[in-house]
Chain A
Amino acid sequence: MNARIISALVIKDIVLIFRNKLFLLITVFGSIAYIAIYFVMPTTVDESLKIGLYSSSPVVPPVFQNLIDGGQEGVDVDKLDSDQALRDAVDEGTYIAGIALPADILTGDNPQINLYSRSDTPTEVSDSLAFMVSELAYVQSGQLPVTSQSVLGTDLIGKQIPMQDQMRTILPSILIIVQLFALATLISEEFEGRTVRAVLVSPANIVDFFMAKGVFGVGMAFGQGLIITAIIGGLATQAGIVILTLLLASLVITGIGFLCGAFSKDNMSAVSWSFVVMMLLLMPAMTALTPGVSNWVKIIPSYYFVDTLHRAMNFGMGWSDLWPSLLIMAAFAAAFTSLGVLALRKKVR
């Protein structure tokens, strides 16, 4: 292994990749787009349902008054002066629904409450709101509540993670995954153009060749991931874990890039296969922060990139909590890098 030779090959790869128009488009414009996306994402989470209320009865029933006074968590109720004003407000989208209490709400026998919602509101939303109003009516009529709450896991009421913070974990992962394309096409171009043979009859040997590709792949992925993460404030919490996660992610992607390059018979198939592998890797990245992600997603390595970053950045979890995930990532990195090197070695021979 010769450092001078490896550095010459790495520099060559950097020159070549930056002359690849598609790579420039994906990486440079992609990076700009990611940063722009980050900064336009909402920084707060609105946990409440905004509802309007109008009461034809001069006295608003206490349970509903309690809503107006903010006594019910998750519901934000405004009192309006007329039924028409309520309907208009719902139609404009100011409120997700409007509750119109009849004049006989307190005295009538089975009074009718109108629940207004826009026609494009999903049925399940209006049904849910109907249940809520119904339950309020039960309590209003003197029935005791039949349920109570118990929170499991960390209670994030009032501390929900806004979309911008969630993006902070997704965007670097996506940027690293996309580097797969660069490495796969670089490798396939070396074989298609037969330049690998030219290099291997020089003092550069196969180890130098692989090391150079590995250094390039990891360097590009990690470097870009780190820069983006730093720009969007991702190093503010548990920086050590974040950096290690980015590094391990880069190693995994480099190994997968080796595999794609080794199994592609030409540049076109390298582009094709790396796109489909990227799509597969992006699935967990897109869905990792969606509640109820299917377990099968957890066998895809990129799930751990996002999940680890999320738990480190947004929950401040430390080494004692995250070492299993880091270990899994390290295992993936070792596995894919080894497989990638073996596949490439076989192709060179």
Chain B
Amino acid sequence: MSLRRVGILALKDLLYGSRSFLIIFVILMPLLMWLLVEMIFSGTSVPRLGIADEGNSQIPAIAATYESIELTEYASASALEQAVEVGNADAGIVIPAGFDAAAAAGTTNLTVYIWGESLASNRTILQSTVSTMIRQVAGQAAPVQIETVAIGEGESIPWSQRLAPFIVVMPIVMGGIYLTATAVVQEKERKTLNALVVTPASLTEVYFAKALLGFIFSLIMGIAILLLTSSLGNQPWLLILFMALGAVMAVELGLIFSSFVNNVNTLFATARLAQLIIFVPALFYMFPWFPQWVSRIFPSHYFVTPIMDISTSGATWADVSAEVFFLIGANVAIGLIAWQMIKRIKQFAA
């Protein structure tokens, strides 16, 4: 195999392949997914409180320190009320001038505006929270101490983090499976594969070039997504190792699927099966109460789970070394299958 020819072919695919597919599916799609997840899940896990401070109360400053609410300040009472009415805030308070002094004197009762569509539980929580802030401003001593006791050993994982494996795996799927497979299938569709194999370039080199392109892009985008989600953690090289091994697996699956299909539409339909193989462990990671042994059946479990453990729980080499060797073995096995599929291709015409 000539690396020079492989490089020439890979560069050809990069420069003259389906640029829009590359940009959209491999680069844009994972970013869009990340954005979508951020949009849906950020800021919706806590009740939203709006404050319009007409005086110079301490309450906004106190509220800003609370993690249990999402605070938004409004310039006027009417803006606040409108925000609450349309649901941009679950609740809101208008703090009149001189409120703090009145609260200290015990002569105030503040109205908490509640969004009609908010849940009863949220209303109770927000009203209690506001009451607590007022009592703090009023200097009222707490009649009890409250000791929060955590039971069990689990960790609180926000939804945006639960979805992180899904987002992290997407570039591996898009770059590894789709980019590689479409590069092959397009050559078949356009009959250019025939033209290539009557040159010194062998079929192996042609496929390897496409695999290389898919691998590089899936790795780059995987790392980019880890950076965007601040998930690189303390062991970036270990993470990159697993991303690389995952990318190899995805590329091999892409080669296997592309050997069966002759046009892009069929590829997109059938490659979804390959997607499932990769994504199922990510799904199980999102829902820890699912029976996790099912996830272990899928080879991608052995890179998805370590990636998440390393980035979120600080797992080290000692914790994940077994998965590395398993992955290497799995990649060799899948690679052999892919190699057999490529060797059996005798007819290049679509």
Contacts and interface: CB of A to CB of B under 8 A. Distances in A.
Direct interface between A and B, CB < 8 A: yes
Among A131, A275, A282, A287: residue with most chain B CB under 10 A? A131
B67 to A, nearest CB: 5
Contact of A153 (B39, B117, B147): B117
Contacts of B93: 147
Contact of B156 (A25, A122, A134, A146): A122
A128 B129 contact: yes
Given A275-B29, A290-B44, A146 B115 contact: no
Interface in B78-118: 81, 84-90, 93, 103, 106, 108-118
Given A119-B150, A276-B24, A48 B120 contact: yes
A50 to B, nearest CB: 9
A203 interface: no
A173 interface: no
B39 A283 contact: yes
B75 interface: no
B32 A276 contact: yes
Interface in B111-140: 111-125, 127-132, 134-135, 138, 140
Given A119-B156, A273-B20, A276-B24, A146 B121 contact: no
B149 interface: yes
A276 B28 contact: yes
A110 B131 contact: no
Given A21-B269, A143-B135, A279-B29, A124 B151 contact: no
Contacts of B69: 124, 128
B81 A152 contact: yes
Given A116-B149, A292-B44, A73 B156 contact: no
Interface residues of A, number: 88
A72 B106 CA distance: 24
B132 A267 contact: no
Interface stretch (B191-199, B224-232, B260-268, B303-311): B260-268
* Interface range for B: 35 or more
A276 B81 CA distance: 37
B117 A130 contact: no
A145 interface: yes
A222 to B, nearest CB: 24
Contact of A116 (B21, B40, B46, B151): B151
B271 to A, nearest CB: 10
B153 A119 contact: yes
Contacts of B129: 128, 131
Contacts of B317: none
Nearest to B124: A74
B125 A128 contact: yes
A286 to B, nearest CB: 6
B64 to A, nearest CB: 14
B291 interface: no
A283 B156 CA distance: 27
A290 B18 contact: no
A44 to B, nearest CB: 12
A152 B85 CA distance: 5
Given A150-B114, A273-B20, A292-B89, A134 B152 contact: no
A134 B146 contact: yes
Give me the 3 closest cross-chain CB pairs, A-B, nearest first: A74-B120, A120-B154, A153-B116
9 contacts: A21-B269, A110-B143, A130-B146, A135-B132, A140-B143, A146-B109, A147-B111, A272-B20, A287-B39
